[in-house]
Amino acid sequence: MLNLAGSSYDYGNVLFAVLQECEHKRRALLPNETESRLREIARGKLAEIRESYEECGGAPLYWQELEREVIETALPQYIPAAIEQNRLEKTNYGIWRQGDPAARILFGLLGLLIGGLIWKAPFIPIWDDSIAFLAALTGLLYPEIKKVFFDVRHSRLLNRVIAQAETYQKNRSARYVTEAKLAEELDAVGSAPVRALTPPTPSLPSPPPLPHRERGGSKTG
């Protein structure tokens, strides 16, 4: 898998652009159409990138491998996570009463109660009574904490999928050692096969011409 069109078309960069496009549009998708529409969006973005890739003289074999990696490896990991993230966002992350002021007050009181029980428990070595107030503050901020947790988890999955694609390309490139495979890639874009170059043999300077002599010597007047 030889990328002849530049680092912009490395696996990680292309996959990042595809997932970014999917993330931009997934929130507007209906639950029953999310999977099919995400695949359609990904293929459309790949087709758009492929046009510029071919204009840069990229090899078809490389693009086929890249497209297979995106469609068959990355998307099956991304789509279930995207569907779950959509569900969480549309249900406000499953927070009771969608985290309205009344719910926040109740979460704060529960946090205060739990913190007080922890402070009073003889088998938990805590000597600072501020633990109860910290627990109450955590309860008040519980909706934001839960949202940040699931958003960060989703972002980490996206980064992990991209990192896996980059690692896969590096491992494949490390095994790219045969001249036949390299010549096949170059031939796919109309280039000549790679051949070993030998340094040119230096040419010796030609000897200067001998002076012309007339037969019988020179004549005297």
Measured torsion, CA atoms of residues 164, 167, 172, 174, in degrees rounded to the nearest 10: -170
How many Å separate Cα 213 from the centre of its chain? 82
The yes-or-no verdict on residue 207 having pLDDT over 90 is no
* pLDDT at residue 98, as a whole number: 83
pLDDT-based confidence at residue 121 (cuts at 50, 70, 90): confident
What's the average model confidence in pLDDT over 79-83? Answer: 97
CA distance 102 to 104: 5
Q: Tokens 């519980």 correspond to what residue?
A: 142
Q: Which of 153, 150, 13 is nearest to 69 (CA)?
A: 13
* Lowest mean pLDDT, pick from 30-34, 46-50, 131-135: 131-135
CA distance 129 to 133: 8
CA distance 120 to 171: 56
Q: Is 217 helix (H, G, I), strand (E, B) or coil?
A: coil
Fill in the DSSP letter of residue 5: S
- This model's pTM is above 0.85: no
Q: Which amino acid type is present at position 172?
A: R
128 backbone dihedrals φ, ψ, rounded to 5°: -95, 120
Sign of CA dihedral 70, 74, 76, 82: negative
Q: Is 207 helix (H, G, I), strand (E, B) or coil?
A: coil
CB distance 88 to 153 below 8 Å: no
Instruction: Give residues with Cβ within 8 angstroms of 118, minimum separation 6.
Output: 124, 126, 131, 132, 135
Domain boundaries of the chain, sorted by first residue? 7-94+150-188
pLDDT digits over 183-200, tens only? 655 565 555 344 443 444
What's the average model confidence in pLDDT over 108-118? Answer: 86
* pLDDT at residue 174, as a whole number: 59
The yes-or-no verdict on residue 173 having pLDDT over 90 is no
Cβ neighbourhood burial of 156 (10 Å; 0-12, 13-18, 19+): exposed
